[in-house]
Structure 1
Amino acid sequence: MFNNIPPITRNIIIINVIVFIVTNFLFREQYTPYLAAFYPFSPFFHSWQIITHMFMHGSIMHILFNMLTLWSFGPVLEQSLGEKKYLILYFASGLGGFFLFNLWNFVEVQQISSQLQTLGFNVDAYLSGAKGVFMGSSESILKQKGLLESLNGIVTTPMLGASGAIFGVVAAFAALYPDAKLMIMFIPVPIKAKYILPVVIVVSIFLGFSGNVGGIAHFAHVGGALVGFLLARVWRKQLFNRF
């Protein structure tokens, strides 16, 4: 059955599984800090991470969900779009997820930095590697420490996973086949793709803004879905004019 999956989708799944085994069971400490994607202005960021993070997963459930979703939607798109466009769609969606997620991170970092500077904390020196020096009253210092903890959370926590690319694939499927009926877990009746996609996007945006992240990069999902949907809309007319 696995051999019947088109080559691009099959190879992406194989690479993800191999990387998951290597980075989670063999050399986790050595590779994860270099292959997962850190905030671009973090000292831990490296340029290759904008690609390598798409092949990193933190748990079996994480990779299982992503690869099953790719296996469900990828073959149809690969056959419809052709290998070249499908590959462009996949990686462009992953990049879209990375950039939107970090655009939101940038906004948060600016807000936190502004508050810290108002309280007398030298953020620029701290981000350059200097030791943080707290100034002011005990109440002010306590607030600075809380803000600094939030800042450190953004700078030192990497994003990883193919979710941005996967959401792009799902969104592209919904754009090309809006009336296709899909079965969703815990929902007993099939629902058209054109109704599922907006709900998923709205929920992801809400969770991203509300801060109910739970270790999930919701804005990466939104960024990937937007890129996948837009590319599919651009290619849709050309695709169906061939028939």
Structure 2
Amino acid sequence: MKDIQDQFRMQDNALVKIILINVIVYVVDCLIWVVAELSKTDWFAVVQSYQGVPPQLQEVLYKPWTLITYAFSHDTPNPFHIFFNMLGLYWFGGLIREYVGGRRLISLYFIGALVGVALYLICYNYIPFYMERAQPRFLIGASASVLAAVVGAATLLPNYRFHLIFIGPVKIVYIAAFYVLISIIGSVQGNAGGNIAHLGGAFAGFIFITCLKRGTDLGRPINATFDFFSRLFSKRKNVHMTFFNSSTPLDVNYTPNQQEIDTILDKISRSGYESLTKEEKQKLFKASQK
């Protein structure tokens, strides 16, 4: 518990905090599932009905919080669902955090979740193919948010490469395209709802980064909401909430001057790219957009 508390107290730690919240929810759900199995009750089904999003729009109106909570819940006790989601978030979300800041990673996570669930609800309430196949099950999982990070990172750094086992270096834009293709194929199969949400998240990631490159930060309302509650709790309970990193990422309209770029390039030639600070990497990225 102390290790977890230390992680949440740390600044510039948004990615780890998102992963920790997902893992904590999964562990609690697993414990509830075990108790429910031992006692032969439906406690776990009741708990998940308050976490996941139902396909019927009228039911969502009575449980609006599920539009957010579903993005932190996963299949239980299946460990692979959360494992691969968090692995993808760690890889691609790390690039988002490194180049445009932790605050924007948080914004992208929530925007991806909201767009993903919006597309899911539209399909299952207005498209006959999906209306006929609607099942009494709930949409859960961080996959829409993860796909937002995957496509967002590919839009931000299309030529960045990951070294894959048995394959070698692969541009992340091809990895993102593979994820999207798999989701398109799966949108008419068994887990159609989940794959539809994936596509919504992917679209959100592309739009978010494209707008950011053009000087518009779509995450400002989300940042403002978190800042409001942070100030509210700080004043009333004297608690300092550090869910976001305190270091402010570069403004979308900021453009580094030539002297700053020359200094960064000199540092790369002396010590290599990995020696750059996060702020220097952000400045270099902004200069590449000119």
TM-score range normalised by the length of the shorter chain: 0.7 to 0.9
> 1:6·1:75 contact (CA, 8 Å) conserved in 2?
no
Alignment partner, residue 273 of structure 2: none
Alignment partner, residue 204 of structure 1: 183
- Deviation, 1:214, is 4.1
- What does 1:29-44 correspond to in 2, within 5 Å? 29-43=45-59
Determine if the alignment matches structure 1 residue 241 to structure 2 residue 221.
Answer: no
> 2:51·2:70 contact (CA, 8 Å) conserved in 1?
yes
Letter of the structure 2 residue corresponding to residue 72 of structure 1? W
* Structure 1: gaps of 5 or more residues: 114-146
State the alpha-carbon separation in 2 of the partners of residues 69 and 51 from structure 1.
19
Alignment partner, residue 157 of structure 2: 177
State the alpha-carbon separation in 2 of the partners of residues 242 and 70 from structure 1.
26
* Structure 2: gaps of 5 or more residues: 34-43, 215-251, 253-281
- Deviation, 1:100, is 1.1
SS at match of 2:168: coil
Alignment partner, residue 222 of structure 1: 199
- Deviation, 1:84, is 2.1
Decide whether aligned partners of structure 1 residues 23 and 234 sit closer, same or farther in structure 2, where only a CA change above 3 A counts: same
TM value normalised by structure 2: 0.61
Decide whether aligned partners of structure 1 residues 65 and 242 sit closer, same or farther in structure 2, where only a CA change above 3 A counts: same
State the alpha-carbon separation in 2 of the partners of residues 81 and 224 from structure 1.
18
State the alpha-carbon separation in 2 of the partners of residues 75 and 192 from structure 1.
16
SS at match of 1:241: helix
Decide whether aligned partners of structure 1 residues 83 and 214 sit closer, same or farther in structure 2, where only a CA change above 3 A counts: closer
Alignment partner, residue 24 of structure 2: 18
Letter of the structure 1 residue corresponding to residue 55 of structure 2? Y
SS at match of 1:217: helix
Decide whether aligned partners of structure 1 residues 188 and 17 sit closer, same or farther in structure 2, where only a CA change above 3 A counts: same
Which of residues 76, 84, 92 is equivalent to 2:111?
92
> 1:54·1:162 contact (CA, 8 Å) conserved in 2?
yes
State the alpha-carbon separation in 1 of the partners of residues 202 and 164 from structure 2.
18
Task: Map Cα deviations across residues 65-94 of structure 1 (whole Å, 9 max, x no partner).
Answer: 111111112222112212222211110011
Letter of the structure 1 residue corresponding to residue 66 of structure 2? Q
State the alpha-carbon separation in 2 of the partners of residues 65 and 13 from structure 1.
12
RMSD: 2.7
Identity, % of aligned pairs?
Answer: 25
> 1:35·1:53 contact (CA, 8 Å) conserved in 2?
yes
Task: Map Cα deviations across residues 185-236 of structure 1 (whole Å, 9 max, x no partner).
Answer: 6x6232212223233323322321xx22347611111100110111111113
Determine if the alignment matches structure 1 residue 160 to structure 2 residue 160.
Answer: no
SS at match of 2:189: coil
Which of residues 52, 77, 85 is equivalent to 2:69?
52
Alignment partner, residue 124 of structure 1: none
Alignment partner, residue 170 of structure 2: 191
- Deviation, 1:37, is 1.1
Which of residues 11, 14, 17 is equivalent to 1:8?
14
TM value normalised by structure 1: 0.72
Letter of the structure 1 residue corresponding to residue 179 of structure 2? V
Task: Map Cα deviations across residues 76-126 of structure 1 (whole Å, 9 max, x no partner).
Answer: 211221222221111001111111122211234x5687xxxxxxxxxxxxx
State the alpha-carbon separation in 2 of the partners of residues 204 and 112 from structure 1.
15
Alignment partner, residue 70 of structure 1: 89
Letter of the structure 2 residue corresponding to residue 207 of structure 1? G
SS at match of 1:161: coil
